Every structure is written in structure tokens, then in C-alpha cells.
Structure 1
Amino acid sequence: MDAWLVDLDEHAWSPARYANTGTRPGSRARATPEESRRAAEFTRASSTRRFLRARLAVRELLGERLAVPPAELRVARTPEGKPYLPDHPHLHISWSRSERLLLLAAADTGPIGVDIEWLRPMPAALDALATVYPALPVTAEPEVFLPAWTLLEAAVKATGLGLARGAKDVDLALGPGNTVSLRGIVGHGPPDAWYGRTEPLAASGALPAAVVAVVTRDRPPMSLNQLLGRDRPMPAPTARSSPDPFVLTL
């Protein structure tokens, strides 16, 4: 399992990234016509930039992992919207973008779903959550919204059904201190074969605080620092990218 945390407001991809990968600058990813069309619909320049950089980052990073030129990497979606790689069906992928943060994950051990949300006030948050997750306890406090929402989103991304169809299958457990864990997912193999966890990301410099959720099947997800840092301390989010970009900026 690999994952990358990307700051979309930092620098664009540097030619130095290709020095040790054998990737030609001319083979870098380009926005597809559909991505360009969607980007043109944003009203803020920052939203357009973040959307396009996120899509390019996905293909650049997955291309590096698969040793495939990013421009040749095809990313498709199921009718329910789950992304997949038609030419590399063994690799399961998921990503999530929230403001300037992108989280991308890839696993060859089975389905995976991730979600990231930057921390901000959410008016009527519990009402919104209860709409898609009626099992929400009436005693839930507003602070539980983002951890519960991110874990729920990650779970339905892992199953590929999305919130509208898949939320009813997810069983969340709300614990003390507004903690949230995944009991299981019904109807997608043994419910206890699914593993989920949330992790907080502290604010750092211009990067906002956030909540991250990872859901996998048949294999417990590593802790976030291991997931993003390959068993070494996570570098500062503003560190420049390296040829081993488990934590990098874009």
C-alpha cells in the first residue's frame, strides 16, 4: 500500500523529479478534454488550478509507481464513479481532495478508499450526516461530524457504491472523545474483513488542519505516518518533492 499527501498550492512538478526515474518530460500527464471542461466550470482561479493539479498529480504519481509514462496511463471510472486503471486492474486506487490538500492511495492487496477533509465550521453538520447515515446516534456531538463523514466517505469509495447507495451498508462506531471507528461493511464479503481508521493532521504553516480516513479490505491500514512516510517520520508538508515522493508537494 502506498499513499501520497500533496499540497496543491505549492510548486508545479519540477524537471528534477525525472532525473532518477527515466521519465521523459515530454511524457508527463496532460489534462484530458473532460478535465479541461470541468476545470472551466470553476469560478475561482484557485479552484481551477487545484482541480487540474490534482488530476495531473494522480497520473504522475501512479505512473511512477507502475513505471508507466504518465501521459500513457489511462484512468477510468465505473458507472458508480469509482476510479480504476483499465490497463492495471491489479492496482486499486482512491483519492480525495479538500481545498489545497490531495490524498492519493494505491494498493494491490484489495479495495481501498480514502477521504480527506480540512477542518472548518460546518453549520447543521449532524443534520447533513444523518441524511445519508440514519443510524447516527441522537447523542452525537457536532465535533464528530468530520471524523464520521471522512470514514463514511472512505468506506463507500472502497466498495465503489458512493454515498447514495453505499452508506446504508456501513457500520460506524462512535466512541468517547468524538472518536469514530469502522465496525464493518455489510453485503461486501464478511463485514469484519474491512478495516478503517481516521487520523488527524495538524495545521502546519499555510496548510490547514485536516482529518484523513483510510478503509481497506483484508489488510489493516498502516498508521498514517507509516503510510505516508514508509516507516520514517513524516517530513514537513512544505518539503520539496524527491525521487521517493511518499510525502511531497505539488
Structure 2
Amino acid sequence: MYSIEPVPLPHDGPADISLWRVDFAFDASLADTAFTALSDDERVRAKSFRRQDDALRFASVRAALREQLARRLGIAADAVRFTSDANRRPHLADFNALDFNVSHAGAHGLVAMSPERRVGVDVEHHSDKFDWHSIASLTLDASEAAWIEQLDAARQVAAFYDAWVAKEALVKATGVGITRGLQHLTVLPRDSTQVTLRNPIPEDMREMAARWIAAPDGYSACVAWSATTFA
């Protein structure tokens, strides 16, 4: 039987943020006991995916999230209830002071959680067939695109994904996102694990921080958080 065992991940962010990696088994079945805690709505959503791999990505991350939340809350995993805010960002229906965020791509997912602040996370699988130029205008500041162009071809793809995951994690952590688009955030050049917002910083990003985190080969990942706490 398939069991989901999230791997705790180290990071350089605040100690109240917990982070886990979920590794997918694509030969699993949604009928496995690992998915027992999923709600009827979650099962319907999982079955709505056309590809079985996508269904397993969603179901595995949601099952792992339920288990970690249940441990924090002291309740059964199937008793965890979710709702969404006006921006369709999921949150707990019955508890306020516990924020979470998830992401998945390829063979891995991420779960981030904090009882003190908003969190955002993103992981992306590098694709050698992907031409980053095709969406550069939608995701990169002009200075970032110029900086990537100076790199050798082998490093360009990784640099693009580094920018992508950092911006997505930051936007997800705000809870409302940046209305002007990802290209209005500037996070490159990268010179450490710390994400440095460059150029004029949008108002909704001034209380945010982020760190790139270690990811499996061929992946980029980042975790972001709000500087202010719930208290």
C-alpha cells in the first residue's frame, strides 16, 4: 500500500515556518489508504484531472497537508475543513491562526505552514524543451531577462526558474497577489539563498521576504513569508 511520508526540509526563514517535501509515487491508486482522509469534494476534484499523474499530485499533497494540519490542531485528518477567501486562496474553515500553502510539479510537492505568519511556496520542474523567452515579458523584468541572456545556455533555464519560483512564492504569500504581474517584481541577479527584491518594490511586497531552498536536481523551489505576524 502507498503511504505518504513528507520529508522535513531545512530553510533559512523564521523558525515558526515548517516545510516539507512530498515525493510522488505514480503507480499508486486513489483507492489506497493514504488517501482515506480526503473529503468527497477532494476526491471529485482528483478524479476530474484528465491525467492520472496530475490526480495523484493533487491528492498526495492534499493528503500530506491534512496530516500535518491535523497533528498541529490535535484532530483527525479527515476532520480538517477548508474554505477559500475572495481570492480563492485556501485556508482553514475553523481555525484562524495557522496559515499554509502548497505547490507541486513533476515528481515532487511542497507544503509550508506557520502559526504566526502568511506563507507561500513554489516548486517548478525544469524543462529543457521550454523556451523561457516565450513568456519572458510576462514573468521577467527587462533587467532580469538581460542578465539571464549573459549566462551560458546551460544556466539560463535554471536562472529563469529561480526567478519564477521566487515570484510565485512571494505572490502566494501575500494572499492577494500582485495585480500588475510578475514582471513588475525583480529578484535577479541571484547571489545567495536570500531573495532580494530589487528596483521599486510594490506596496504589497514591502513586508515580504523569501529564500530559495534546496531542491532535487532539475527543480527550483522557494519559500516566502510575511514579516508581520498574526499577533
Change over 3 Å in CA distance of 1:180–1:133 after alignment to 2:
farther
Name the structure 2 match of 1:117: 124
Count of matched residue pairs: 197
Residues 6 and 103, structure 1, Cα contact 8 Å, conserved in 2: yes
How far the C-alpha of 1:47 sits from its partner, in A, is 2.3
SS at structure 1 position matched to 2:187: strand
Q: Distance in 1 between matches of 2:181 and 2:94?
A: 26
**Amino acid aligned to 2:38:** R
Name the structure 1 match of 2:45: 38
Residues 151 and 182, structure 1, Cα contact 8 Å, conserved in 2: no
**Amino acid aligned to 1:42:** F
Offset from partner CA, 1:46-102 (integer Å, 9 cap, x none)? 222222222222111211122121111112222222221121211111110112211
Which of 142, 159, 162 pairs up with 2:174?
159
Offset from partner CA, 1:208-236 (integer Å, 9 cap, x none)? x32110111227xxxxxxxxxxxxxxxxx
How far the C-alpha of 1:168 sits from its partner, in A, is 6.1
Name the structure 1 match of 2:19: 3
Residues 59 and 73, structure 1, Cα contact 8 Å, conserved in 2: yes
SS at structure 1 position matched to 2:63: helix
How far the C-alpha of 1:187 sits from its partner, in A, is 1.8
Residues 122 and 223, structure 2, Cα contact 8 Å, conserved in 1: yes
SS at structure 1 position matched to 2:97: coil
Question: What value does the CA root-mean-square deviation take over the aligned residues?
Answer: 3.0
TM-score w.r.t. length of structure 1: 0.67
How far the C-alpha of 1:7 sits from its partner, in A, is 0.9
Moved more, 54-63 or 130-139: 130-139
Change over 3 Å in CA distance of 1:4–1:71 after alignment to 2:
same
Name the structure 2 match of 1:187: 203
Residues 81 and 93, structure 2, Cα contact 8 Å, conserved in 1: yes
Q: Distance in 2 between matches of 1:180 and 1:130?
A: 24
Residues 8 and 53, structure 1, Cα contact 8 Å, conserved in 2: yes
2:228 corresponds to 1:212: no
Name the structure 2 match of 1:29: 37
SS at structure 2 position matched to 1:51: helix
**Amino acid aligned to 1:54:** V
2:215 corresponds to 1:201: yes
Alignment of 1:1-250 (within 5 A): 1-9=17-25, 29-33=37-41, 35-141=42-148, 142-143=156-157, 144-162=159-177, 167=182, 170-175=185-190, 181-183=195-197, 186-188=202-204, 191=206, 193-203=207-217, 209-218=218-227
Residues 77 and 83, structure 1, Cα contact 8 Å, conserved in 2: yes
**Amino acid aligned to 1:56:** A
Q: Distance in 2 between matches of 1:195 and 1:31?
A: 33
Residues 82 and 160, structure 1, Cα contact 8 Å, conserved in 2: yes
How far the C-alpha of 1:42 sits from its partner, in A, is 2.3
Q: Distance in 1 between matches of 2:221 and 2:139?
A: 19
Residues 170 and 186, structure 1, Cα contact 8 Å, conserved in 2: yes
Aligned residues: percent identity?
25
TM-score w.r.t. length of structure 2: 0.72
